[in-house]
Amino acid sequence: AQTVTQSQPEMSVQEAETVTLSCTYDTSESDYYLFWYKQPPSRQMILVIRQEAYKQQNATENRFSVNFQKAAKSFSLKISDSQLGDAAMYFCAYGLYSGGGADGLTFGKGTHLIIQP
Amino acid sequence: DVKVTQSSRYLVKRTGEKVFLECVQDMDHENMFWYRQDPGLGLRLIYFSYDVKMKEKGDIPEGYSVSREKKERFSLILESASTNQTSMYLCASSRGLAGGEDTQYFGPGTRLTVL
């Protein structure tokens, strides 16, 4: 079974600074996808960024980027120029490529990100 | 934009009651999912469905059942609610071309309290 580990229950960063959230996962599969989701206090889970395991290039979305290390099974999220609106729970998730079927995601336990003004 | 809606934001039920949680998506997605979210445990998959009337058990299906009579609607049923089912329930949907490559879009969640 796949597992996802987020070792930082809580992180705090000053506004405008950079913060990195850690995620490691365990799988024996070679085709899979990794996601970072954000859940603000309003509770709506929002996709931040996704990475296909077959791509060596790290995904980026504006101020959000990942450091994907497939051999180390590591998938960290870097948030640059942190803003107050970035305060939320961040979940790392793993999705197996199932080639035509459906499969649920496996989530980590989350990291609570606090932005200090 | 994909929209996933859930029938209630907050729900309070008594032990032993039958509880229905409803989820509707408006983007013609094939796949729909029910997760349970508990502090310190993240999200855990209860059930999912890849087509009308089709369902698969997730990691924690015990005490739950689901129904998908129409493509856009996926219901989670607690046949006899218990206090250990007090939790946040999140519904999600995805397009359905293939499993993990589909981004899942989430609803706002239902906070269920069982007394």
Query: B19-57, pLDDT tens digit by residue?
Result: 999 999 998 888 899 999 998 888 999 999 988 888 999
Least confident of A103-107, A111-115, B30-34, B65-69: A103-107
Distance from CA of A109 to the nearest CA of B (A): 4
**pLDDT value at A99 more than 80:** no
- How many contacts, defined by CB atoms under 8 Å, are there between A and B? 86
DSSP B103: P
Q: Please give the pLDDT value at position A43.
A: 75
Q: Is A41 on the interface with B (CB under 8 A)?
A: no
Which residue has better confidence, B97 or A89?
A89
Q: What is the mean pLDDT of the segment spanning B88-99?
A: 80
Tokens of B88: 């946040």
**B90 pairs with which residues across the strands?**
B35
**pLDDT value at A113 more than 80:** yes
Considering only CB atoms, B100 lies closest to which of A91, A103, A109, namely A103
**pLDDT value at B95 more than 70:** yes
Residue A102 pLDDT grade (very low, low, confident, very high; cuts 50, 70, 90) = low
Q: Please give the pLDDT value at position A6.
A: 96
Taking only the tens place, the pLDDT of each residue in A37-87 is 999 987 789 999 999 888 889 999 999 999 999 999 999 999 999 999 999
Tokens of A105: 């995601």
Average pLDDT, chain B: 91
Distance from CA of B50 to the nearest CA of A (A): 6
Closest chain A residue to the Cα of B98, Cα to Cα: A100
Q: Which of A43, A51, A109 to mutate to test the interface with B (most CBs of B within 10 A)?
A: A43
CB B63 within 8 A of CB B112: no
Question: What is the rounded CA–CA span in Å between residue B108 and residue B56?
Answer: 23
Residue A98 pLDDT grade (very low, low, confident, very high; cuts 50, 70, 90) = low
Instruction: Identify each DSSP E strand in chain B by its residue range.
Output: 4-6, 10-13, 19-25, 31-38, 42-51, 54-57, 65-70, 73-78, 87-94, 105-106, 110-114
SS3 A59: coil
Average pLDDT, chain A: 91
* Neighboring chain B residues of A35 at a CB cutoff of 8 Å: 103
Q: Please give the pLDDT value at position B99.
A: 46
